Amino acid sequence: MSVDFKLISSPLQGFTDFRFRNAFHEFFGGIDVFYAPYIRFNGKLEIKSSYQRDLNPDNNQVPELIPQVMTASLDEFLLAANYVKSLGYNEINWNLGCPYPMVTKRGMGSGLIDNTQQIDHILDHVLSTTDITISMKMRLGYESTSEILDTFDILKKYPLKNIAIHARTGKQLYKGGVHLDAFQKCIEQSPHLLYYNGDITTTQIFKDRKLLFPSIKHFMIGRGLIADPWLPHMIKNDLTDYPEHRWEIFKAFHDQIYTHYADFLQGPTPIKMKMQGFWGYFSEQFENPQKTFKKIKKASNARSYNAAVSEILHSTQKLA
C-alpha cells in the first residue's frame, strides 16, 4: 500500500540490535528505516566490539540502518563519524535525548540540549571537516519543554538532515504524557525536517498524531514496536484486524531471536535475562500482561521457559 509517511524504528539500547532488527524486518515488516542504538565511549577513544558487530553491514539485512552516537566530545564524535563512514554509512544520528542521570550529569543526551555552545562547536567542526550527514534525535529539553527552541537558533545554521523529537523532557524520564503543544511549537519554529516520536502504541494514536500534525511525514516508534510487533504493518496497511497467522508468526519471530541470542550469550542466566527483557514488552499483547510476565519470570531454565512461552501462546490462540 502506498502511503505518504515513513515509519522509523526508534532505537532501544539492549533490545533493537541487529538480531532483533533483522528478525523484525523478516517477520513483520512495516518499518522503512531502523536507527541503531547509540555508540557510547567509556573514557577510551575506541569503538567497543559490540557496537562494531551491531553496525557491521554483513550482519544487517534491513533496508536502511542509521548509526547513532551519544557524546558531548568533539573527538568522540569525529571518531564515531569516521568509523561509520568507513563501514559505508553516510549518516550519523546524534543522541540528545537520553534522560538517565548517569548520562545527563555528564552533559550528554538530554543534558546537552541547553549547552548550545558545545553543540555549535561540534556541528561546526564536524560539518566543515568531514562529508558526513548529521541528523539529530532530541527531547524537548532537560528541565523544560522550551529549551529546544533556544537550541534551534544554533541548529538552524546547519544543514541537518532532520531532527527527531521525543516530545518529553529529560527530567520526565518516561513518566507523564508527551507534550503535543510543545511539539507544535517546534514545528512552527524549526526550519528543519522534523520527525515525531513518543507513545505511538496503537494505529488509532498514530492516526490522531498524523491528523494533529499534518506536516509531519516521519514517525518513530520505540517501545510500541516491541510491545506489538505487528503495529508498523497495521499502520502502513491501515488495518484494524491482526493478520490471520498473528501468533504463528510471532512464535517464529520469537524462536529466531531466542536461538540467535542463545547462540551468542553464554549460559542460562544471560539468555533468561535477555528474553525476560523482551517479555517485559511482549506481555502487553496478551490479555493479562502481568500474569503473562510472571509466567516468564518464574521459568528457571530453558525447558520451563519454552513451556511457558508455548502455554502463553496456546491459551491466547484458544481465546482468539
Ligand X SMILES: Cc1cc2nc3c(=O)[nH]c(=O)nc-3n(C[C@H](O)[C@H](O)[C@H](O)COP(=O)(O)O)c2cc1C
Nearer to ligand X, 69 or 299 (CB): 69
| Rounded-to-integer distance, Cα 295 and Cα 291, Å | 6
The yes or no reply on residue 190 touching ligand X (CB under 6 A) is: no
HSE, side-chain direction, 13 A CA sphere, residue 130: 24
Nearest residue to the partner ligand X, using Cβ: 222
According to CB under 6 A, which one of 26, 64, 124, 199 is a site residue for ligand X?
A: 199
Q: Give kind and range of the element (H or E) at residue 120.
A: helix 116-129
| Using rule CB under 6 A, residue 222 touches ligand X | yes
* Binding positions for ligand X, 274-293, rule CB under 6 A: none
- Can residue 110 be called a binding residue for ligand X (CB under 6 A)? no
Among 80, 92, 134, 200, binds ligand X (CB under 6 A): 200
Query: Is 11 one of the binding residues for ligand X (CB under 6 A)?
Result: yes
When the beta carbons of 170 and 198 are compared against ligand X, the nearer one is 198
Q: How far apart are CA 13 and CA 10, in angstroms?
A: 10
Which residue, 221 or 234, has its beta carbon nearer to ligand X?
221
Our finding on whether 111 is near ligand X (CB under 6 A) is no
* Residue 184: strand, helix, or coil: helix
Query: For the chain, how big is the Rg over CA atoms in Å?
Result: 20
Q: Max CA-CA distance within the chain?
A: 61
**Between 71 and 90, how does the x/- string for binding to ligand X read (CB under 6 A)?**
--------------------
**HEC-encoded secondary structure of 283-318:** HHHCCCHHHHHHHHHHCCCHHHHHHHHHHHHHHHHH
Find the binder of ligand X among 19, 21, 137, 274 (CB under 6 A): 137
Least separation in angstroms between CB 154 and ligand X:
20
User: Is residue 146 packed enough to be buried (19+ CB in 10 Å), middle (13-18) or exposed (0-12)?
Assistant: middle
List phi, psi (to 5°) of 186. -60, -45
Region of 12-20, 52-60, 143-151, 280-288 interacting with ligand X (CB under 6 A): 12-20
Contact 35, 70 (CB under 8 A): no
Site for ligand X contains 198 (CB under 6 A): yes
CB closer to ligand X, 79 vs 97: 97
CB-nearer residue toward ligand X: 27 or 35: 35
109: contact with ligand X by CB under 6 A:
no
Q: For ligand X, how many residues bind (rule: CB under 6 A)?
A: 20
Nearest approach in angstroms of CB 303 to ligand X is 28
CB of 18 within 8 A of CB of 60? yes
242's grid cell: 491482526
Complex with ligand X: residue 11 or 170, whichever CB lies closer: 11
Any residues with CB less than 8 A from the CB of 139 and at least 6 apart, and which?
A: 96, 97, 99, 110, 113, 148, 165, 166, 167, 168, 169, 170
Where do contacts with ligand X occur on this chain (CB under 6 A)?
Answer: 10-14, 37-38, 68, 95, 97, 137, 166, 197-200, 221-224
